[in-house]
Structures are given as structure tokens and as C-alpha cells.
């Protein structure tokens, strides 16, 4: 480790052995059963997963950022109780899917361990019900990596890259996950190189790209070269949709003054790359809200083809950092200015909310649909649809971001909604359990406050 508390006794705990296993020769679309363990130490319960079928023309994924974990005990390190609800609803969706292959995408700020290693264990306990069934893809965030002496820290980034990683410098992140590709950057210390920085893969009609906002992405860097080559090499006949994911957002209406220089560099170096190569979706975390923008270029909405206008194939940026971390920017109006939000919502921001939740992506070769599911009721609260041509069908122009088609049930969403109708009584029970968990969570926070608990940071990202 590189810094306190990760390399001090208060944060360090021996993680034991970490094993990687590679399965080869799997047949597509087949359900496999497995156990982990040994004869001497014992075996786990039997788990199962469905292998990806390369001939499939459908893609299903669950995507979010900044989830963290919860603990069954009070601790001086801040935890994220809403993560329980996020996993609960995703598990419901996985059960509704049956044997359809899918995957999870967690785009940075994974466990919020920040140097306290036992929180990584709690995080994996939390996600085990889903991560044992489907692939769990990640990209790096500030709370996995940043420390004062990190190798890439240009002058303009002095206010950006600080101590958010708790001295971990990407070590637990690099060793506990094994993503595609071989991207890595040296830490500049005795710690092993940081891995899992940028990579891509195809799943059905979607090409997914992951990038690191914590390491060099400027023109001339190895990451920029990877992104450029990767985006230019996509076969849009085979994968008509391209989805890019990273941690810190290129666009947000949160104040986020500390990250302003980084966003300027992203706009200068990355946005032209995204626009030129017709990226359909750009998904970001870091801001602990859900916010969807119009098809966007240089802060300007492109036409969506309504009222007879020509449409433009521009990326739709969506901030999805609402999976668990409970520090959120203030958007609501102040009591003395009830009609003036603290941070006004410009026209380019079509939908934003403080609700916790996750997004669900469903795509065929003709259309991609991204839906926001709220944790308080497990229902869809926002949706955007994109055609393979790049045209955005809804959620802009005269719609002003309001959702009029959320309750439509087309061929791509019927798979789960029919299950939900059948299981209506189960959802009522789930809602009641969620209410109880929320009440207990509030009570725990209240008790902690009365005992003098204070957060580690006042402006949590």
C-alpha cells in the first residue's frame, strides 16, 4: 500500500489468499454449476451461471456507480446502507431473467473501503448473491486509487487527485478483480502496478468500453491510443451500439468545481473522439445522483429529429452514481427561494433526481433502451431509447426530459414486466421489507449521530 490508513495497523488486515480460476471450453448459452474450496478446507454451496452465447442478438446489463457496502454493525468508517436495496432489486431482476445471460457494470467507487480492508470483505459479502451468478465488471474510481504521490498528477489536477483512496493506490482493486485486457500503470512505489484501467468487449449488439479517469487519458497517452484504436475498429454491422463508461463525468449540473479542470480536459481530448466515432451512450459515476442529458456536443443539444428537423447522432451522457453513497449534491430549492434550485437545471439536463437506484440496459440490433430503476419502489422512473442508426427516440426536445413512455411494454421489456405482474404480491412484501430496512438504516444513523459520529469527509465523492 502507499499511504495511511491502508498501510497502518488501523486499516490493514491480511486478506488471505486470492485465487483466480479460468474456465475454458465452455459452450454458449449453457447453465454450469460449480463449487469453490478444497477437500481440506471445505467446499462452498453449489452455484451456477449461464455462459454467454455469442450467437445471441440481445444484450441485457445492469449498470451503476458509487455503491459501496453496508455493515451489520456501527463503524467509524462511513458505509452505504442503500447498497442493500440496490442489490435486492437487481437480484429480483436476475431471477426474472431466468437463464438469460447478463452482467453487472460497477463504474468506480466500488467498496468505499478507503484503506480499511475489512470493508472490502463486507462488499464482497454483499454482492455475492449476484456476482456468483453473472460477470461483475468494474472500472477504477477515485476511492480505489487516488493518493498524494500518484504518478500522473499534472499541475492542473492538483485540486482533483488527493487522498480519496485511503492509501490503497489501486492495490486491492487490482488484485480482487480480473478484467479483460492487460492495461496497467506503475504506482511509482513498491506496490504492484495498478491493473484493470481500460478495456473493452462485445456482448450481443453492444460494444462496451471502460476507461480510467484517474490515470492519463490525454492525447499521446497509452489510454488515449487504446480508446482511439478501439472506437475506430468497432464493426457497427455486428455491434451497432457503443457504450463508453468511466468514473468522473464529462457532464454534470452538480457544482463540482474541484473537478472542473478535469472535465475541461475530457471535453478537449475525449469528446471529439466520442462524437467522431458515434458513441451512443457515455455513462459516468462520481456524482451520487441520476442525471440524463440530451444528445450532446460542447454543452449543446443536438436535434433529435422532431418537428421535421434532421437528427444528429451524438452521445447521450448519463450520470449513474446513485447506487448507494448517501452524500449527494443539493439540487432542491432553498426554503427562501422555493422556485430557484441551488444548481439550476439547464435545458441540456433532461432528467435528474436524488433517488437511489440503478440502470437496466436492454438492446437488440435495432434498438437500445436504458431505464433508471428507483430503489424506493423498484419501478422504472426514466427511460431513453436509441436506434441502431444513432437516433434518440424519446426523452428530449419537447419532452423536456419527462417520461411519457415508461410504462410501455414492448418486446424488449416484456421479459421482466410479465414476471413482475405475476409476482405482484412478492413486490408488495419487498416494498414493506425495504421500508423496514430504511427505517432501521435511519435509526442507525440517528444513533450514530447521538454518539458523536462524524463523517470522514464533508464533500464525499
Of 166, 222, 216, 171, nearest in space to 195 by CA? 171
For every residue of 264-331, DSSP letters joined together read: HHHHHHTHHHHHHTT--EEEE-SSSSEEEEEEEETTEEPPBSGGGPPB---PEEEEE--SS-------
What per-residue confidence (pLDDT) applies to 432?
42
Q: What are the boundaries of each domain within the chain?
A: 57-450
Query: At CB < 8 A and 24+ separation, what contacts does 326-333 make?
Result: 326/80, 326/81, 326/82, 326/288, 327/288, 327/455, 327/457, 327/459, 327/460, 327/461, 328/288, 328/289, 328/354, 329/254, 329/255, 329/256, 329/287, 329/288, 329/289, 331/253, 331/254, 331/289
DSSP-assigned beta bridge partners for residue 246:
284
281-284/316-320 β-pairing:
parallel
What per-residue confidence (pLDDT) applies to 439?
43
What per-residue confidence (pLDDT) applies to 395?
55
For every residue of 127-141, DSSP letters joined together read: HHHHHTTS-EEEE--
CATH of 57-450, one of 3.10.20.30, 3.60.21.10, 1.10.10.10, 3.30.470.10: 3.60.21.10
Grid cell at residue 427: 413486490
What per-residue confidence (pLDDT) applies to 459?
45
Q: What is the pLDDT along the chain (461 residues), one digit of tens a residue?
A: 888 899 888 888 888 888 888 899 999 999 999 999 999 999 999 999 999 998 899 999 999 999 999 988 887 677 899 999 999 999 999 999 999 999 999 999 999 999 999 999 999 999 999 999 999 999 999 999 999 888 999 999 988 998 999 999 999 999 999 999 999 999 888 888 999 999 999 999 999 999 999 999 999 999 999 999 999 999 999 999 999 999 999 999 987 788 999 999 999 999 999 999 999 999 999 999 999 999 999 999 997 766 656 788 899 999 999 999 987 766 666 677 777 767 788 999 999 998 999 999 999 999 999 999 999 999 999 999 999 999 998 754 444 444 333 333 333 344 343 343 344 433 334 444 444 444 434 444 444 333 333 233 334 45
The answer to whether the CB of 350 falls within 8 A of the CB of 400 is: yes
Grid cell at residue 21: 480460476
Amino acid at each position: 500500500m502507499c499511504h495511511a490508513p491502508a498501510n497502518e495497523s488501523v486499516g490493514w488486515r491480511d486478506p488471505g489468499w486470492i485465487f483466480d480460476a479460468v474456465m475454458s471450453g465452455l459452450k454458449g448459452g449453457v447453465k454450469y454449476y460449480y463449487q469453490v474450496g478444497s477437500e481440506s478446507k471445505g467446499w462452498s454451496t453449489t452455484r451456477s451461471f449461464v455462459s454467454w452465447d455469442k450467437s445471441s442478438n440481445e444484450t441485457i446489463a445492469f449498470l451503476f456507480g458509487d455503491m459501496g457496502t453496508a455493515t451489520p454493525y456501527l463503524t467509524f468508517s462511513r458505509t452505504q446502507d442503500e447498497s442493500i436495496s440496490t442489490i435486492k432489486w437487481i437480484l429480483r431482476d436476475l431471477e426474472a431473467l431466468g437463464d438469460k445471460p447478463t452482467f453487472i457494470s460497477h463504474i468506480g467507487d466500488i467498496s468505499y473501503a478507503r484503506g480499511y480492508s475489512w470493508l472490502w470483505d463486507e462488499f464482497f459479502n454483499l454482492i455475492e448473491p449476484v456476482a456468483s451468478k453473472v460477470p461483475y465488471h468494474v472500472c477504477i474510481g477515485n476511492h480505489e486509487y487516488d493518493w498524494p504521490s500518484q504518478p500522473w498528477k499534472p499541475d492542473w489536477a492538483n485540486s482533483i487527485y488527493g487522498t480519496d483512496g485511503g492509501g490503497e493506490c489501486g492495490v486491492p482493486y487490482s488484485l480482487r478483480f480480473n478484467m479483460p485486457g492487460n492495461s496497467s500503470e506503475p504506482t511509482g512505489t513498491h506496490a504492484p502496478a495498478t491493473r484493470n484501467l481500460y478495456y473493452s468487449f462485445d456482448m450481443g449488439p453492444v460494444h462496451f468500453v471502460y476507461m480510467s479517469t484517474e490515470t492519463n487519458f490525454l492525447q499521446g497517452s497509452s489510454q488515449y491510443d487504446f480508446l482511439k484504436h478501439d472506437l475506430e475498429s468497432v464493426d457497427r454491422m455486428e455491434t451497432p451500439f457503443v457504450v463508453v463508461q468511466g468514473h468522473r463525468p464529462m457532464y454534470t449540473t452538480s457544482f463540482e468545481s474541484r473537478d472542473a479542470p478535469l472535465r475541461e480536459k475530457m471535453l478537449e481530448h475525449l469528446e471529439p473522439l466520442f462524437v467522431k466515432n458515434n458513441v451512443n451512450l457515455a455513462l459516468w459515476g462520481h456524482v451520487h445522483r441520476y442525471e440524463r442529458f440530451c444528445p450532446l456536443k460542447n454543452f449543446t443539444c443536438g436535434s433529435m429529429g422532431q418537428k421535421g428537423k434532421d437528427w444528429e447522432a451524438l452521445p447521450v451522457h448519463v450520470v449513474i452514481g446513485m447506487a448507494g453513497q448517501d452524500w449527494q449534491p443539493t439540487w432542491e430549492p432553498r426554503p427562501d427561494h422555493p422556485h430557484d434550485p441551488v444548481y439550476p437545471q439547464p435545458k441540456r439536463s433532461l432528467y435528474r433526481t436524488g433517488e437511489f437506484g440503478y440502470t437496466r440496459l436492454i438492446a437488440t440490433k435495432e434498438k437500445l433502451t436504458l431505464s433508471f430503476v428507483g430503489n424506493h419502489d423498484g419501478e422504472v422512473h426514466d427511460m431513453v431509447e436509441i436506434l441502431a442508426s444513432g437516433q434518440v427516440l424519446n426523452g428530449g426536445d419537447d419532452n423536456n426530459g419527462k417520461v411519457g413512455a415508461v410504462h410501455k411494454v414492448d418486446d424488449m421489456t416484456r421479459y421482466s414486466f410479465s414476471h413482475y405482474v405475476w409476482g405482484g404480491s412478492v413486490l408488495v412484501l419487498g416494498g414493506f421489507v425495504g421500508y423496514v430496512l430504511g427505517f432501521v438504516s435511519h435509526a442507525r444513523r440517528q444513533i450514530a449521530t447521538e454518539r458523536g459520529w462524524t463523517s470522514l469527509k464533508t464533500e464525499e465523492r
